[in-house]
Amino acid sequence: MRNTFALCAAAVALASAQRPAAQPPAPPAHIILIRHGEEPNDPNDPHLSDQGRARADQFVEFMTHDRAMIALGAPVAIFATETTNDGNGQRTQETVAPLAKVLRGQVSTPYHGKDYDKLAKRILSDPTLAGKTVVICWNHEWLPQLAAALGVRPEPPKWKGKVYNQVYIISYRGRRAVFSTTRYGA
C-alpha cells in the first residue's frame, strides 16, 4: 500500500513538473495616460482651476468623439492618483471624473503618484483588463516612469511642466508596448 501511495505521489509530482509555467495574463490592448488639468494660481488649492475643469470636459469630448480614440474602444477602467494628506492627487481625480460619469464608471485611486510601479504591476496582471482600454490620469512628474513600468522602451522624456494636453498612448502588440503621443483640446 505504501509503495502504491509513493508511486502515485511521484507520478503527480512528475506530471506537475512537466506542465508549462502559467503565463501571465495578456496586457490591456491600450493604455491612455494623461496628466491632470490646470491648477489654480493659489498653490495651496488642491483642486482644478476653471481652466482645468474645462480641460477635463475637453478630455471627455476627445475620448467620446475623436475617431482614433473611439477606435481604441471605450475604457473599462479609469485610474487616478490617491489623494495624499496635503491634497496631492485631487486634481488627477477631478480631471477624469467627468469621463467616468459619462461612461457610468468610477475612478479607482489605489496608489500615490510615486507608487506608479505598483499601478503598472496591477494593470498588467489583471486578467479583467486583458485586451481592453484603460485610462490613467497621473502626476506629470511620474508619467515617463509610469510609461516605462508599463513596458515602454526607451522611457519617454521628462513631461514639460506647463503641458496639459499631451496624451501618451500605449498599445500592446503581444506583450510589446508600442508608444505614441497625441494632443487634445486647445
> Angle 50-65/90-103 helices, nearest 10 degrees?
40
Domain for residue 53, yes or no? yes
Query: Per residue in 38-76, pLDDT tens?
Result: 999 998 899 999 999 999 999 999 999 999 999 999 999
Domain for residue 2, yes or no? no
Amino acid identity of residue 133, one-letter, is T
Domain for residue 3, yes or no? no
Distance CA 131, CA 25 (A): 10
Domain for residue 117, yes or no? yes
Count how many domains the chain has: 1
What is the percentage of the chain residues whose pLDDT exceeds 90? Answer: 80
Query: Per residue in 8-40, pLDDT tens?
Result: 444 444 544 555 567 788 999 999 999 999 999
Domain for residue 172, yes or no? yes
Domain for residue 99, yes or no? yes
Domain for residue 12, yes or no? no
Spatial CB neighbours of 138, under 8 Å, sequence gap ≥ 6: 33, 34, 35, 79, 80, 81, 92, 113, 116, 119, 146
**Looking at residue 130, which CATH number applies to its domain?**
3.40.50.1240
Secondary structure letter of residue 101 according to DSSP: H
Contact 146, 153 (CB under 8 A): no
Distance CA 128, CA 166 (A): 27
Contact 90, 137 (CB under 8 A): no
At residue 170, the pLDDT reads 98
Distances (CA, A) of 77 to 10, 56, 85, 104, 186: 45, 17, 25, 11, 26
Domain for residue 6, yes or no? no
Q: What is the mean pLDDT of the chain?
A: 90
Amino acid identity of residue 108, one-letter, is S
Judged by average pLDDT, the poorest of 11-15, 74-78, 99-103, 150-154 is 11-15
pTM: 0.87
Distance CA 84, CA 63 (A): 28
Provide the residue range defining the domain that includes 143. 23-183
At residue 88, the pLDDT reads 79
